[in-house]
Amino acid sequence: MANFFKDNPDLQFSLEHLDLSEAVALREDNYRDAEKYEGAPVDFQDALDNYRRVLDVIGEICGDRIDPRSRTVDREGPHFENNTVTYHPLTQKNLEDLRRADVMGVMLPHRYGGLNFPVSIYTMLTEMVSRADASLQNLFGLQDIAETICEFGNEEQRQQYLPRFATGEFDGSMDLTEPDFGSDLQSVRLRAWQDEKTGQWYLNGMKRFITNGCAKVHLVLARSEEGTSDGRGLSMFICEAGPKLVVRRIEDKLGIHGVATCELQYNDVPAQLCGKRRFGLIKYVMSLMNGARVAISAQALGIAEAAYREARKYASEREQFKKSIDRFPAIYDMLSSMKVKITAARALLYETTRAVDLRNGYNHLVERGENVTPEDRAAQKYYNRVAAVLTPMCKALATETANQVAYDSIQIHGGTGFMRDFNAERYYRDARITNIYEGTTQLQVVAAIGGVLQRDNDKRLAELMALPFTGKLLRLKEVIAGHHARLLDAVKFVSEKKDPEYHDLMARSLVEMETYVFVGMLLLRDALKCDKRLPIAERYVLDSVPEFQKRYMRVMSNDTVLIDNHRDIIDY
Amino acid sequence: MSYTVLVFVKQVPDTQNITGDAMTPEGTVNRAALPAIFNPEDLNALELALQLKDRYGVRVVVGTMGPPSAAEVLRNSLFRGADECVLLTDRAFAGADTLATSYALSCCAKKIGKFDLILCGRQAIDGDTAQVGPQLAEKLHIPQICYVEEVLELTPEKVVARRAIEGGYEVLESPLPALMTVVEGNDPRPMAGHRIMKYKRAKTPSEVLKAQGDSNYVDSEAVASVVEDLRGKGLLIEEWTAEYVGADKSRIGLAGSPTKVKNIMSVVLTASEAKAVEPTDAGITGLIHELISDHTLG
């Protein structure tokens, strides 16, 4: 009788204190949807009650059903024969359980049969699914594909696909990466050509590393403009599985064994254009990837949660020198640090999803164009900027945290953790992809640095710093305020130096300094709401002092030697 | 042909997850300390009914006898896919043993009228008697199949079901209407998001009354109008009293229950070592002698 929602006080705290009222009112059309759709909430409390109930149901499914199946799924994985992928019977059962619980179209609007839940709640579900079986999240999380069709497809395409995504009949894949182009998506080559007589589009070429490439519905990034070579020649297409779309092989991976990662060959596959030509990468895929980055952050956090719990349990049961090992400073230091990092990553994750929900809400409001006030437009602009900087910051933090926590989890297990009889090694393997796919941490830094230099978080930071802190919390706030002042110095230093190479070299340090300041304030805010969170906030802020200082010293050092001599080092 | 399947379920204390204060000092079950849950095998019965709904479009009506709070398991049934619910509730039903319970349920089934199948869980985890289902079939004078795992076929004339027997299974055919008790094994479907959002608003008339708040001043017209509104939306959980179902007062509740609980013992198993007995005549003879000599037998 395990329930991954009810056994997680931090997740419940996140739900109860994440003020979604503004975002949900936007999403539910000021609760006018309640008159049109059975079950749509009548006010925010009603919506929150729905979220709580569904989280509870999925928490139980994750704890009682999916988690116990996960080891076998990892060991046995999907089956591939005659160009056909067959998922493990237990993976199929997992999907059936989730489908029956109506959570395959969590964010889709009521009119297409979705639950119309905000991204924040979908992310909480994602976190629990990943804690139970990280590889299952790669199938559950493909709801982002339906979201993209909903956002950018035409009404006919929405009607054609979305209701069947909502019931779980359709699954999807996003086909971006090619053998030669991963991070550099603007160079994608897969060709889209149009029959001049019929207007029908066809796709021709190869894609690689496609998660669930055996899906029924594919969103494909392809070059529709002959003679172009950059991102503006790419469009997005929808196509369906069929004899012309061949799964050539599936990859043999380090982790997330439960899901098939496919190589695809397109032999003139008929396709529909989704959205406008030439906007494929620059608008649609960027949006899709930003959504996926939030989801991967949650996947990473779920793995970290699982790895931490396993380590904590083991450390309390394992006795050496006549006492349980969690009584030794070296071990309780690691356990505390893991817990603090997880709490920090979760705080940033739900601050991010809240910004994403508000961004989506205001984008839709402005697009609909009815009674839009200047304040609405300002809010739209603001939340677009905030979501754009927080999403990559969050992905970098959550996925690197997951790797550290999974690593320490094995360390706490000692030799036992190295054995495949325990779950620790699986979490370690599963975590490893999270800071790579949907953009490596290095690319998240590239995505975040602009917002850091332009100080897009300063308005929010000022709000947080104005909270009525007293006593210890006030002293901790002063520590962060000191960091913030030095962060501004460092930003000024790098900006004024106007050296692109130094800028790129220091970007990671700057983004991490920003993260220490921002997350520190989030944890102090939470400690103000709940006394039990004070030790975690305190630990985070105090641990961040030397970490922050190290990065500050590096940025301010003006040390450009590496730019000049890195080849001498690398090539020795 | 549209079939009607009745599922009788029970809200029980969660005896599977026992905590320290599960028993009162007097040796009775401390219901307050144990969370009330859906009896596990009744979930299997409901799942079987819902599978029949998926296959044949049957109408699934779920009934339970219990205090007003038992409405929770009925809402839970609605969240999973049930069409209608009836709560059989009356102080006169309280304290019923299996005889009185099966009589009350038989009155409820007769009141519902036409049905093709009745499904019950094999047994409840609080009493573990497995008697209510079979007794109910007897009172309704309909055939019964116990320990059912799966329905193989349902036609207007008959049901073909597979039931578990020791070391295997048996396929039986029965005319309709019939009663079946269901064992664990089918994977009960989870509660569904859309249905939760809709049916969380489902209420019994007494819950509507309670939601009105002030017990000194009850606006009965307002209550009646809310009840009618819920009925119109298919969100009313009917409450039926003993009188409404035409139950004979002497046959229900404590009055109708010949079973008297004399004592409940909290048995704590203390044996620390196991003893293997060879499966031979000599081994068995040795064990019997041992049991006779320590007065366990004879």
Q: Residue A286, Cβ neighbours under 10 Å: how many?
A: 16
Task: Assign A268 to helix, strand or coil.
Answer: strand
Q: How far is A327 from chain B (nearest CA, A)?
A: 28
CATH of the domain at B9: 3.40.50.620
Amino acid at B225: S
The alpha carbon torsion through A86, A91, A97, A103 (nearest 10 deg) reads -90
Quote the CA–CA distance of B79 and B195 in Å, as a whole number. 5
Q: How far is A349 from chain B (nearest CA, A)?
A: 24
Query: pLDDT tens digit string along B7-42?
Result: 999 998 887 766 667 666 665 667 677 788 999 999
Residue A462: per-residue pLDDT: 98
ipTM: 0.89
One-character DSSP codes across A15-81: HHHS--HHHHHHHTTTTTHHHHSTT--SSHHHHHHHHHHHHHHHHHIIIIIIHHHHHHHHHH--EEE
Quote the CA–CA distance of A331 and B60 in Å, as a whole number. 55
Q: Which two tokens stand for residue B10?
A: 């029970």
Residue B19: per-residue pLDDT: 64
Query: pLDDT tens digit string along A512-559?
Result: 999 999 999 999 999 999 999 999 999 999 999 999 999 999 999 999
Nearest CA in chain B to A49: B197
Query: pLDDT tens digit string along B85-99?
Result: 999 999 988 888 888
A525 close to A467: Cβ distance less than 8 angstroms: yes
Is the pLDDT at A166 greater than 90? The verdict is: yes
The owner of tokens 């997850």 is B17
Are A102 and B194 in contact (CB < 8 Å)? yes
> Residue A38 — very low, low, confident or very high, per pLDDT cuts 50/70/90?
confident
Q: How far is A46 from chain B (nearest CA, A)?
A: 9
Tell me whether B91 touches chain A (CB under 8 Å): no
Tell me whether A97 touches chain B (CB under 8 Å): yes
Mean pLDDT of A49-74: 97
Query: pLDDT tens digit string along A460-482?
Result: 999 999 999 999 999 999 999 99
The alpha carbon torsion through B76, A167, A355, A19 (nearest 10 deg) reads -10
Judge whether B272 lies within some domain. Answer: no
Task: Assign A255 to helix, strand or coil.
Answer: coil
Q: How far is B80 from chain A (nearest CA, A)?
A: 9
Is the pLDDT at A181 greater than 90? The verdict is: no
Mean pLDDT of A146-163: 95
Tell me whether B197 touches chain A (CB under 8 Å): yes
> Which residue range is the domain that position B159 belongs to?
4-202+237-251
Q: pTM of the predicted model, to two decimals?
A: 0.92
**Which chain B positions have a beta carbon within 8 Å of A49's beta carbon?**
200
Residue A295: per-residue pLDDT: 96
Query: pLDDT tens digit string along A24-34?
Result: 999 999 999 89
Nearest CA in chain A to B79: A101
* DSSP collapsed to 3 states, chain B: CCCEEEEEECEEECCCCCCCCCECCCCCECHHHCCEEECHHHHHHHHHHHHHHHHHCCEEEEEEECCHHHHHHHHHHHHHCCCEEEEECCHHHCCCCHHHHHHHHHHHHHHHCCCCEEEEECCCCCCCCCCHHHHHHHHHCCCEEEEEEEEEEECCCEEEEEEEECCEEEEEEEECCEEEEECECECCCCCCHHHHHHHCCCECHHHHHHHCCCCCCCCHHHHHHHHHHHHHCCCECEEECCCCCCCCHHHCCCCCCCCCCCCCCCCCCCCCCCCCCCCCHHHHHHHHHHHHHCCCCC
Is the pLDDT at A145 greater than 60? The verdict is: yes
Judge whether B82 lies within some domain. Answer: yes
Top residue of B197, B198, B200 to mutate, by most chain A CBs within 10 Å, is B197
Tell me whether A41 touches chain B (CB under 8 Å): yes
Residue B26: per-residue pLDDT: 60
**Among the residues of A176-328, which ranges form H helices?**
286-317
Nearest CA in chain B to A117: B193
Q: How far is B251 from chain A (nearest CA, A)?
A: 38
Query: pLDDT tens digit string along B46-82?
Result: 999 999 999 999 999 999 999 999 999 999 999 999 9
**Which chain A positions have a beta carbon within 8 Å of B196's beta carbon?**
39, 50, 53-54, 57
Q: Pick the residue with more confidence: A521 or A286? A: A521
Judge whether B294 lies within some domain. Answer: no
Query: pLDDT tens digit string along B202-220?
Result: 999 999 988 877 666 777 8
Quote the CA–CA distance of B108 and B84 in Å, as a whole number. 14
Q: How far is A41 from chain B (nearest CA, A)?
A: 8
Are B190 and A101 in contact (CB < 8 Å)? yes
Judge whether B34 lies within some domain. Answer: yes
Q: Residue A204, Cβ neighbours under 10 Å: how many?
A: 16
**Which chain B positions have a beta carbon within 8 Å of A40's beta carbon?**
197
Judge whether B80 lies within some domain. Answer: yes
Are B198 and A38 in contact (CB < 8 Å)? yes
B31 close to B14: Cβ distance less than 8 angstroms: no
**Which chain B positions have a beta carbon within 8 Å of A57's beta carbon?**
190-191, 193, 196
> Residue A399 — very low, low, confident or very high, per pLDDT cuts 50/70/90?
very high
Residue A418: per-residue pLDDT: 96
Helix A155-166 and helix A143-152, axial crossing angle in degrees, nearest 10: 160
A323 close to A421: Cβ distance less than 8 angstroms: no
**Which chain B positions have a beta carbon within 8 Å of A113's beta carbon?**
194
Tell me whether A50 touches chain B (CB under 8 Å): yes
Tell me whether B125 touches chain A (CB under 8 Å): no
Give all domains of chain A, ordered by start, each with its CATH number: 172-278 (2.40.110.10), 457-567 (1.20.120.470)
Tell me whether A128 touches chain B (CB under 8 Å): no
Please give the DSSP secondary-structure letter assigned to residue A558.
T
Query: pLDDT tens digit string along A191-234?
Result: 999 999 999 999 999 999 999 999 999 999 999 999 998 989 99
Tell me whether A127 touches chain B (CB under 8 Å): no
Tell me whether A89 touches chain B (CB under 8 Å): no
Mean pLDDT of B266-278: 76
Option in B17, B196, B198 nearest A54 (CB): B196
Judge whether B116 lies within some domain. Answer: yes
Query: pLDDT tens digit string along A231-267?
Result: 899 999 999 999 999 999 999 999 999 999 999 999 9
Are A101 and B200 in contact (CB < 8 Å)? no
Are B190 and A97 in contact (CB < 8 Å)? yes
Residue B279: per-residue pLDDT: 85
What phi and psi, each to the nearest 5 degrees, are found at residue A516? -60, -40
Quote the CA–CA distance of B283 and B123 in Å, as a whole number. 35
Most confident of A138-152, A382-396, B123-137: A382-396
Q: Pick the residue with more confidence: A508 or B185? A: A508
B181 close to B148: Cβ distance less than 8 angstroms: yes
Quote the CA–CA distance of A127 and A304 in Å, as a whole number. 10
How far is CA A94 from each of CA A73, A100, A107, B209, B236, rounded to the nearest angstrom?
Answer: 10, 10, 20, 41, 33
Are B190 and A61 in contact (CB < 8 Å)? yes
Are B197 and A115 in contact (CB < 8 Å)? yes
In chain B, the number of structural domains is: 1
